[in-house]
Amino acid sequence: MRLYDTQRSGNAWKVRLMAGLLGLTLERRTLSIDRGELRSESFCAIAPMRQVPVLELDGGGTLCESMAILFYLAQDSLWWPLAPVEQARVLSWMSFEQERHMKPLAQLRLHLGLHRDRRPEDADMRHHAAEAALALEILEAQLSRPGTAPWVATPTLPSIADIALYPYTRLAGMGGIDLAAYPAILGWLGRIEALPGYQPLFPGRPDLNFSTAETAAL
């Protein structure tokens, strides 16, 4: 299988994380936002939604959107539970990630960390910061709930909900958020990073995880 991504896409990182944890090998085709490669005819021909990640399947055809790709990769594995009620809980937290968690964290990272075209005191950044704080408070409360397992959605094992929530939480510092205020989240991040097959954002180059310029090094 071939993954089309960009160097700093949190959504594409979810797919690489899932593949690594499942022991799957992906051929990585990293595109450049700076060079406009996501607008090229060749990419748009395989990516109807015109964004990464895109997973090209061995048997032909492609899958778009990280949530759909995680679901596909996790089939017949412990990352997708068998019980319908647990499946529903996983989907609940994945919906939370897309609607309430990723959006503010991604906007803060984009404008305060990567592009640096906003100031923390700007009205839209204050709004995103408040939304991000609420999302992290909800996640912290879930991971602190007495009598539950140390994972987000399922009682004994991590699920694709944990993978969905991981990247933009881990990168929150680029948007000016201090994760030291969330000890349960820090513990959860550490548990994910200790799993066999964990894939960092920049394999072998952790010094690049929070850098702001495109680089040829991968």
Looking at per-residue confidence, does 189 or 34 come out higher?
A: 189
| Alpha-carbon gap, residue 112 to 30, rounded angstroms | 24
The H or E element spanning position 186 is helix 183-193
| Alpha-carbon gap, residue 65 to 33, rounded angstroms | 18
| Alpha-carbon gap, residue 63 to 69, rounded angstroms | 6
- What DSSP line would sit under 53-68, residue for residue? -EEE-TTS-EEESHHH
DSSP strands (E only) in 21-133: 27-31, 54-56, 62-64
Residue 140 scores a pLDDT above 90: yes
User: Model confidence over 160-211: pLDDT tens digits?
Assistant: 999 999 999 999 999 999 999 999 999 999 999 999 999 999 887 777 777 6
Beta bridge partners of 5: 30
pTM of the model: 0.93
pLDDT confidence of residue 214:
62
| Alpha-carbon gap, residue 71 to 167, rounded angstroms | 17
Domain architecture of the chain: domains with CATH = 2-77 (3.40.30.10), 84-193 (1.20.1050.10)
Block residue for tokens 């990585």: 28
User: Model confidence over 62-104: pLDDT tens digits?
Assistant: 999 999 999 999 999 999 999 999 999 999 999 999 999 999 9
| Alpha-carbon gap, residue 6 to 217, rounded angstroms | 12
- Rounded to 5°, angle at Cα 41 from 35 and 43: 70
Q: Considering Cα of 175, then 180, then 185, then 189, what sign does the dihedral take?
A: positive
